[in-house]
Amino acid sequence: MLAPASTSKEVIARLSTEMTRIIRSPEFAQRMSAIGADPIGDSPAEMTARIQDETLKFAKLVKDGGVTVD
């Protein structure tokens, strides 16, 4: 789940708490397993770092591969 950058820290903390509770529930785990998904329960800081790392990684692949948009 993502939220706008302008979302207050209090709202982000509440969303993180609730999402973590849901992700760790047996019902959610069963549903995700049934579709072959592997949910990630990162903290907001870990998710931010993951997005930054992925953006850099894929930007390099696009640049190195000479990918263009037609």
Segment 8-30, tens digit of pLDDT: 999 999 999 999 899 889 999 89
Burial class of residue 44 (count of CB atoms within 10 Å of its CB; 0-12, 13-18, 19+)? middle
In this prediction, residue 48 carries a pLDDT of 87
Q: Could you tell me if 24 and 41 are in contact, meaning their C-beta atoms sit under 8 angstroms apart?
A: yes
CB 32 within 8 A of CB 38: yes
Q: Residue 40's pLDDT is what?
A: 76
1 in a structural domain: no
Structural domain for 60, as ranges: 42-70
Domain membership of residue 3 (yes or no) is: no
| pTM of the predicted model as reported, rounded to 2 decimal places | 0.64
| 38 has a pLDDT exceeding 90 | no
Instruction: Please count the structural domains in the chain.
Output: 2
